[in-house]
Amino acid sequence: MLMTVLSFLVTIGVLVVIHEYGHYRAALACDVKVLRFSVGFGHVLWRRQRGETEFVISALPLGGYVKMLDEREGPVAPAERDRAFNRKPLRQRAFVVAAGPLANLLLAVLLYAGVNWSGVEELRPWLAQPRAGSLAADAGLQSGDEIVSLEMLQAGVSNSDASQHEVRSMTDLQWLFIQAALAGQDVRLQVASRAEAQGPVTERRSLVLQLSRIPAAEVDGRLLDRVGLNGPYAEPLIAEVLPGGPAAKAGLRAGDRVVSINGVPPADAGQLRQIIRGSQLDGAARQVSLVVERAGQTMPVNLMPVMTEVKGQRVPRIEAALGSMPATVEVRYGLVEGLTKAASKTWDVSVMSLSMLGKMLIGEASLQNLSGPLTIADYAGRSAEMGWVYYVGFLALVSVSLGVLNLLPLPVLDGGHLMYYLFEGVTGRPVSDIWLERLQRGGVAIMLAMMSLALYNDLARLLGAH
């Protein structure tokens, strides 16, 4: 809990400071007088005056603001009117407003580049046996297949013009699948089959996975599971035996390799789990017959699973951890490639975020994809526990989201002010005060609705309803 709270505060603190610093530096560049730079809202906990600007930290850490000299907010001395924000040319006001979101996007590029340069251990895209009847199984994917590259196929576009991407990890695979599914595109996979992680390639083939059959409303972080992929390949081993459980009573030991289960040789640990979970009839567990290999010798083992409640369902369990550690790969890039991929990733995440928001608005994507502070805090804590590289990657993702969110044309956001300036640039006159007030009220109502929905989704996830 302490790690989660600290990671969340650092996340919000860094992103808010960078966002407001963008506004602050742009204001100084345009010779706008900055009165206050605040991290947080409400009661001031700490303050320091530096030159003509007061820097403060306030009690509510969910945001911040830069207060500039402005005749619309109070009287301005005649000698300082040329430094008031409202007196600046339209292009300068737009630059000051846009600088906050742009600072978040630039931060994301630098953070992603840092991850690319440092390298990160990722799960290798070496697949377990897909679920029977799933899209992955229908495409012909099998246990031991490793995805080498992926092409996004579009109607009316020849294969030579299709976009091809190298797949270096399961993270790459999931990201590319999400992009293709949101666009309603199928993908062509280049697959290499291996019997062992470091073994030779036994077969190469090309497969088409029909991601266009997945409705956009079902595209989320569980997409790989919806496609039918049960995660990375893991050997069908007994990794750990829990004391007093069916596996321990039957004499199974850590390191035993399951050669067959109910007469079926399991392709991997995922298929082994599926067969055990299917060993029931009318809600009662059925006996499981194993043949295991230990120290070069095979032996039969019969055991009776126990019914255990998992995520609201009663399923058979043998009380043992199954599967070897999945194979991993270090994903690292050079100086130039790491920076260009970081810029590309920031752009792709921005476009996908806008696309997802648009699809949620018209009902083509689930509103469950909207997350709030509780989910951010949860993932901040989890990524921090995994290591600083993972936390930096998470920070980059949230920074992109904050930048994109603030560019939305809602009156209470930076994008809303840019919308006002666009109107002023086209018509030659600013938005009237009465319309500013109406739009502001509408913007506040929309933001409150979004925040309420995001908080509801957060609570639903934490309580297991989603």
Q: Which of 227, 234, 223 is nearest to 208 (CA)?
A: 227
Residue 389 and residue 19: Cα distance in Å, rounded? 22
Q: Are 303 and 245 in contact (CB under 8 A)?
A: no
Q: What share of the chain is helix, strand, coil (3-state, %, to 5)?
A: 45, 25, 30
Measured CA distances, 309 to 277, 316, 317, 318 (Å): 12, 9, 9, 13
- Position 58, amino acid: S
Q: Are 328 and 256 in contact (CB under 8 A)?
A: no
Tokens 């092409």 belong to 151
Q: Which two tokens stand for residue 155?
A: 């109607």
DSSP alpha helix (H) spans, 75-214: 90-118, 135-139, 170-182
Residue 333 and residue 254: Cα distance in Å, rounded? 38
Q: Which two tokens stand for residue 438?
A: 């109406």
Q: 173: alpha, beta or left, given left = phi > 0 and alpha = psi -120 to 50? A: alpha
- Position 243, amino acid: P
Q: Which two tokens stand for residue 244?
A: 């007093």
Which of 20, 151, 235, 319 is the catalytic position? 20
| DSSP label at residue 195 | S
Phi, psi of 254 (to 5 degrees): -60, 135
Q: Is 73 labeled as catalytic in the residue annotation? A: no
Residue 393 and residue 384: Cα distance in Å, rounded? 10
Burial class (CB in 10 A: 0-12, 13-18, 19+), 256: buried
For the chain, what's the residue count?
Answer: 466
Q: Is 261 helix (H, G, I), strand (E, B) or coil?
A: strand
Residue 461 and residue 465: Cα distance in Å, rounded? 6
Tokens 């790690």 belong to 3
Residue 246 and residue 127: Cα distance in Å, rounded? 29
Residue 228 and residue 396: Cα distance in Å, rounded? 29
Residues annotated as catalytic are 20
